[in-house]
Chain A
Amino acid sequence: MVLDAQQREVDRELIVACQRGDHDAFAALFDAHRDRVYSIALRFSGSPSVALDIAQDTFLKLLSKIGEFRGEAKFESWLYRLVVNSCLDHRRAGRKWSPLATLRASGESVLQRLLRSEVEENVQQVVARLAPELRMVVILRYTEELSYDEIAEILGCPPGTVASRLNRAHKLLERRLSELRGKHV
């Protein structure tokens, strides 16, 4: 995965310390992975407040389940599974997310809103409209830059399924982005 061998070794030591109840080790593990977890949650939900909820859930699960981690799988795969499940759990909880509305209502000034890239908004909007299983594959691929095999391992499906989901997502994104561009011309 993206993490190098040195980071993995640091993680391994931190995990062992966490399993002994070392709070500082948990803080260090949190620091090492908070951006990764928050980014996936934000890209999936489109809402900073929901992303905070998801990231919080993920780290609390990590804290409560760290004792169960035996090192058979890679830690980062295990962490990715936790955040993916938290994202899907929040969605199943029936919350209706309206990503753009939420982002715009998050305290931005009129000037900031005007400065926001139209392209960025368009991409966020079309990604938010993807079905959850397609959206998650897109996020793991483009936010986390994971390979098909790595995504398959995290989602528990064959690499071929990942490829077909990405293919469907690309087609939908191309079509919807060109529709949006057409509207703005």
Chain B
Amino acid sequence: MSKSLATLLHEELGRVPAPAQLWDRVQLPRTPRPAASLRLAWAAALLLVSAVGLHAFLKSEAVHAPGLVRLQAACHLCHGGDDLQAVTLRGVY
């Protein structure tokens, strides 16, 4: 390799200063997020509350009332009360 090429590459490929906006871009994604353990605790608490709620609902009088005994409690999770009433009246249950 000739010396001139090495010199040329040293001169033309030297370091350049980073633009100031780089720091802003490194900072930007640093939005505060809860720690993983905290997020896990929230998810567990939500699951527990849902389970307790569902259990309480299944044990409630509405589900076991005469005429609605065969009504599946799970239907309430997706369907509104009116829809279930209509289905009951049409004799499906």
Contact = CB atoms under 8 A, between A and B. Distances in A.
B34 interface: no
Interface string A12-39: 0000000000000001001000111111
13 contacts: A27-B23, A30-B23, A34-B23, A35-B17, A36-B15, A38-B17, A39-B15, A43-B13, A52-B21, A52-B22, A60-B26, A119-B12, A142-B6
A23 B1 CA distance: 46
A170 B26 contact: no
Contacts of A162: none
Of the candidates B9, B17, B21, the one having the most CB atoms from chain A within 10 angstroms of its own CB is B9
A56 B12 contact: no
Interface size class, chain A? 20 to 34
Of the candidates A39, A142, A177, the one having the most CB atoms from chain B within 10 angstroms of its own CB is A142
A174 interface: yes
Interface in B5-33: 5-6, 8-10, 12-19, 21-23, 25-26, 29
B37 interface: no
A35 B5 contact: no
Interface stretch (A87-95, A120-128, A152-160): A120-128
B12 to A, nearest CB: 4
Given A34-B23, A35-B17, A177-B5, 7 more contacts: A36-B15, A38-B19, A56-B22, A142-B13, A143-B13, A170-B5, A173-B9
Given A123-B9, A142-B10, A52 B25 contact: yes
